[in-house]
Amino acid sequence: MYRWFIAHRYLFSRIITFAALVVIAASTSLLIVIISVMEGFRSELQARIRGTSSDLKVESTDFIALREPDKVSAIIEKVPGVNATAPYVETIVFYRTNVGFSSLRDVQHRFLRVLDVERELKVGELQKYLEAVELPRFPWLSKDPRVVFSAEWARKCFDKAQELEVKPMAAPAAIPGAVLVGQEAYVKLGLYPGAQLRLTAYSPRTQEPTTGEFIVTGYFKTGLYEVDSMTILMERGEAKNFLGLVLDDGRETASGIRIDVSPELETEADLERIRSSVEAALDREGVTFSRAVTWRDERATLLGAVRVEKGIMSIILGMIILFGGLMMFIILTLLVVEKTRDLGVLQSLGATPHSIASIFFRIGVALCASGLAIGAMHGIGFALIVNLVQRWIKLLTGYEVFPPNVYYIDHIPVRFQAADLLWIIVPTVLVSLFSSSIPAIRASKKDPVVALRYE
């Protein structure tokens, strides 16, 4: 009992003793915040990349050159584990508009994604992305993907644009086809519902540029800034006429096929096995100039970079733990030197070397436990309100801590994992115990006679 009492007295005898506690608490808090944000960014980015893609994808190795996509889809759907497929086309388009913050002279590029609405609903998260849009100014906007691409809805958006006094590029003889743009296109460019776009793309049939007029009939929000600001969605039927997807020989062409697999087969090993099966099935049917990739393969470089960055950041910040252990070692060593005479008195009264060592070891344990507890509470608490802090910083200074056009995501994601918390706590405990044991052992080996004569 007396050992805890003496450890308590020694612990509060000097304010400098708490410097080690501050360092341990600060390092723990900093590591928890940064690692949880890095893991949140990795998992959020991974989830959103998966949402905008599909479990697997068969893509043409040439420009929009996958012939007879419906026939290819039928082949793929026979592979065990495949739930559904959806043909798609992806290409670059140039657009001009006379509404919002642009003029007819402004020509900008965007990514055009052509989709089969009914089949895309079975493969991707189109419905979810339409429902995620928040535009209180236009409460009448439909979020039904079957409606927003229809000619009737395009007519309604055109009429609403007239009510809003948003004039189209020209009075068309017929209402142009419908396209969807990301919510950021409205926020950054002012593309209102009913805004008329003039799109120019390269046709795989004529091998020449093709131009068409279209109307913005709705918005989507994936949470990936790049997609929400740079992507235009068009329905497959409309794209057949615009891009010329039906070739002169009567066969349709596409960029590839999105593939959805059974939920229980979404592990990396299962996806790789199904990918091999899909490639084998296509080879047997003579489908050439195509390849099958998983959604991880599609963005392997980006996902790998985030994973490596998290590891490097953990190692660099882990040096703070070593610094905290060094401070604890120095402080306890000085405490042993300062209390040398007291140790001699304790030994003369019958204290064993083990008892002497346990006094300083308990001081180290108390500093370590207190620092970990304070640091963990502060780190977890700060991580939970980090987006609020970011908004206040932007409000007060105008500086954007987490710009979405750089990090792809429109908020700071946070995710706590037990493995990450253990990686922080266990090394901190081990370093603290090691730093405490050396001064404790040194104190236990003091000669009581020499200690009593120490001044």
| pLDDT 10s digits, 391-421 | 888 888 878 777 766 666 667 888 888 888 8
* Pairing label, strands 290-294, 196-202: unpaired
Q: What percent of the chain clears pLDDT 90, i.e. is strictly above it? A: 25
Task: Look at the pTM and tell me if it is higher than 0.75.
Answer: no
- Which residue, among 425, 331, 422, has the nearest Cα to 372 in the 3D structure? 425
Give the other-Cβ count within 10 Å of 88's Cβ.
25
Of the listed ranges 102-106, 206-210, 394-398, 399-403, the one predicted with least confidence: 102-106
pLDDT for res 35: 87
Q: What is the mean pLDDT of residues 200-210?
A: 90
How far apart CA 36 and CA 39 sit, in angstroms, is 5
How far apart CA 263 and CA 241 sit, in angstroms, is 36
pLDDT for res 114: 94
pLDDT for res 328: 80
* Pairing label, strands 253-254, 196-202: unpaired
DSSP secondary structure string, 284-319? HTT--SEEEEEHHHHTHHHHHHHHHHHHHHHHHHHH
93, containing H or E segment: strand 82-97
* Pairing label, strands 108-115, 290-294: unpaired
Q: What is the mean pLDDT of residues 284-293?
A: 87
- Which residue, among 200, 234, 23, 16, has the nearest Cα to 96 in the 3D structure? 200
How far apart CA 416 and CA 429 sit, in angstroms, is 20
Is 205's pLDDT higher than 70? yes
pLDDT for res 78: 92
pLDDT for res 217: 93
How far apart CA 77 and CA 258 sit, in angstroms, is 11
CB proximity list for 395: less than 8 A, separation 6 or greater: none
Of the listed ranges 37-46, 78-87, 138-147, 302-311, the one predicted with least confidence: 302-311
Take residue 88 and report the two structure tokens written for it.
Answer: 């798609």
pLDDT for res 315: 80
* Most confidently predicted of 5-9, 192-196, 394-398, 445-449: 192-196
pLDDT range class, residue 347, cuts 50, 70, 90: low
pLDDT range class, residue 11, cuts 50, 70, 90: low
pLDDT range class, residue 451, cuts 50, 70, 90: low
Report the Cα 93 to chain-centroid distance in Å. Answer: 27
Is 116's pLDDT higher than 90? yes
DSSP secondary structure string, 113-165? EEE-HHHHHHHS-HHHHHHT---TT-TT----HHHHTSHHHHHHHHHHHHHTT
pLDDT for res 201: 93
In order of 59, 229, 295, the CA distances from 321 in angstroms are 48, 42, 37
CB proximity list for 128: less than 8 A, separation 6 or greater: 51
pLDDT for res 170: 52
pLDDT for res 169: 47
Is 358's pLDDT higher than 80? no
> Phi and psi for 299 in degrees, rounded to 5?
-125, 40
pLDDT for res 404: 66
Report the Cα 200 to chain-centroid distance in Å. Answer: 33
Is 101's pLDDT higher than 60? no
How far apart CA 70 and CA 120 sit, in angstroms, is 13
Residue 240 forms beta bridges with which residues?
A: none
Contact predicate 159/197, CB 8 Å: no
DSSP secondary structure string, 334-363? HHHHHTHHHHHHHHHTT--HHHHHHHHHHH
Contact predicate 371/439, CB 8 Å: no
pLDDT for res 166: 46
Give the chain's radius of gyration (CA, Å): 32
